[in-house]
Structure formats: structure tokens, C-alpha cells
Amino acid sequence: MTENARRSAAAVQARVPGFVPRVGIVLGSGLGGFAERIEDAVAIPYGDLPGFPRPSVHGHAGRMVLGSLGGQRVVCLQGRVHLYEGTGPEGVKTLVRTLKLLGCEILVLTNAAGSLRRDVGPGSLMAISDHINLLGTNPLVGPNDDDFGPRFPPMADAWDPALRAVLGQAAARRGVALAEGVYCALLGPAFETPAEVRMVKLLGADAVGMSTVPECIVARHCGLRVVGCAVITNLGVGLDDGEVSHAQTLNAAAGAAGRLEALLTGFLEALDP
Ligand code: HPA
């Protein structure tokens, strides 16, 4: 319901009058610590924001943090919704459209993902160059809200090449290794079978996960520019003999979190003022 995004944006504006964020940042599983870096931070629990999720997955805190970082006004979402939670696409639409209504122009998406490339192993960071939607659905299914965007939004350059270049510059400047690749979203919550991992690899994906693509689609629909980074927490099932579990995802994400935080801070500093 669009109404939830409007009410949530109004609730945020009542807490931080006159504050207009430019960059929205969604922090994936185990990556919420980035929000601790924000200066003059104001945190708002999702419970205070109509239509925001009560995150059910361990590793997602469920609050919005507004403030400044790297010379930019930012709003961080510590906690997202996944379609596998079964509550439909409304939650994703509310999160992303609230950021749009607050004034954001840019959306930074992060996630924990499995790699389909042995040369990009656990702990690596991968800039998302494009996506494949294998969720079996699309968050824009249903009546179109013309106030936000067109019925048939284009998805060429869904992942903004210029912003990705800025991310690459930030990586070089900070000495952070950054791979680049195509992210494929599957519905989950079951992890992939080895055959499914071989399939998505054949289709041209470099990483696989259960999030991010719905947010990108809703964001492009309403004209936000999108840039993203996957934190590789494991190789895809069957590509090695390691095991995949949520605990292992959180653990590996924690190990890479410092580099992701440096990368994102560098990105914010490198953006045009
Ligand atoms: N598959 C799906 N989602 C994931 C994975 C994976 O291997 N790793 C972290 N999130």
C-alpha cells in the first residue's frame, strides 16, 4: 500500500524535520554494523514506521538510521524484507518508496551471496553489474501506482554504470579488492541444489542470493539510481565441499564487513557533492 510509504515518510520527517537524505543504503545479513559509522545519527525502529517489516531473520536489526557520512546525507535500512517471508511485495515497496519520498536519489543495495566463481571466494566483495530475476514473481505485479512510475519500467542499466564506476574508484582508492558480476535472485528460503547452482551459472550469473532484486526493480520504477555490492559468504552449493548455512553466512559477512564499510564510505566521499 502506497499509503504506508507516505505515512512512514511523514513519520520520519516528524523525527528529523528538514533533513533530506540523498543516499539510501540497504544493509544485508550481518552487515548492519555500517550504520554505527553514521554521524549525528537518528535511529527509528521499524515498529514506528507503518508497513515496515518486523524482520524475522536473525542478522537484520529492523531500524532506520539517518545522518551524515562521507559528506553525504544518508538513510540506512538495517533490515530488509525477503519475498520468502511470504508477506508479499508490499513490504519491499514500502521500504523503497519511503526512501524515495524522503528525497533519496541513489539507492545502495548490499547483500550476502553465494559465489558461482571459484576465483571470487568467501570474503570477496562483488559490485553488481546486472541481475537475473528467478524469483518467479515481480514486486510490481498488481495495479500500477502511476504516482511512482510507469506500468512497464525499463531495466536496461538497472545497475547504474556511472555509480558503479564511482564504486570502483572508491575500491581502488581504499585498496579494497572488488570483483564485478551478475547477481541472480532465487526465492529461497531453501538454499540451492547443486543442479540449480549449475543452472544459474550456465545462465550467466556470478552470484546467487535471495534478496536485492525486488528492491532494485521497485527503485528503478520510481527513478532511483541503483548501485550494489554483494558480500560473498560462500561458494555456491556443490562448487566446493563447504557447507552453506545462515550461521555461516553471518560469520563470513562479519569477516568482510570492515572492507564493505570502507568501500561504502569511500563511495559516499567520491560522489559529486
Ligand atoms: N545461496 C543463496 N543465498 C545465499 C547464499 C547462497 O549460496 N549465500 C548467502 N546467501
* Residue 246 Cα to chain centre, angstroms: 17
Q: Ligand 1, atom 10: nearest CA belongs to which residue? A: 113
Q: Is 210 a catalytic residue?
A: yes
Residue 164 confidence (pLDDT):
98
DSSP string across 16-37: STT---SEEEEE-TT-GGGGGG
Q: Is 210 touching ligand 1 by the criterion CB < 6 Å?
A: yes
Q: Which residues contact 134 (CB under 8 A, 6 or more apart)?
A: 184, 185, 186, 187, 200
The active-site residue out of 4, 8, 29, 124 is 29
Residue 200: Cβ within 10 Å count: 22
Residue 240 confidence (pLDDT):
86
Q: Which residues contact 47 (CB under 8 A, 6 or more apart)?
A: 54, 62
pLDDT, tens digit, for every residue of 86-109? 988 999 999 999 999 999 999 999
> Would you say residue 273 has pLDDT above 80?
no
Share of the chain above pLDDT 90, in %: 85
pLDDT, tens digit, for every residue of 173-230? 999 999 999 999 999 999 999 999 999 999 999 999 999 999 999 999 999 999 999 9
What's the CA-to-centroid distance between 212 and ligand 1, angstroms?
12
d(CA 108, CA 101): 16
User: Average pLDDT over the chain, rounded to whole?
Assistant: 94
What's the CA-to-centroid distance between 150 and ligand 1, angstroms?
32
d(CA 85, CA 82): 6
pLDDT, tens digit, for every residue of 98-154? 999 999 999 999 999 999 999 999 999 999 999 999 999 999 999 999 999 999 999
Rg (CA), the chain: 17
Query: What is the bridge-based pairing of β-strands 63-69 and 39-45?
Result: antiparallel
Domain 2-270, architecture per CATH: 3-Layer(aba) Sandwich (3.40)
Largest CA distance in the chain: 53
> Would you say residue 249 has pLDDT above 90?
no
Ligand 1 pocket mutation pick from 116, 128, 192 by most atoms within 8 angstroms of CB: 192
Q: When comparing pLDDT for 59 and 50, which is higher?
A: 50
Q: Rounded to whole angstroms, what are the CA distances from 107 to 12, 209, 267?
A: 18, 19, 12
Q: Is 246 a catalytic residue?
A: yes
Query: What's the rounded mean pLDDT across residues 226-246?
Result: 90
* Residue 256 Cα to chain centre, angstroms: 16
Residue 59 confidence (pLDDT):
58
Q: When comparing pLDDT for 162 and 249, which is higher?
A: 162
Q: Is 85 a catalytic residue?
A: yes
pLDDT category at 31 given cuts 50, 70, 90 is confident
Query: What is the bridge-based pairing of β-strands 106-115 and 207-209?
Result: antiparallel
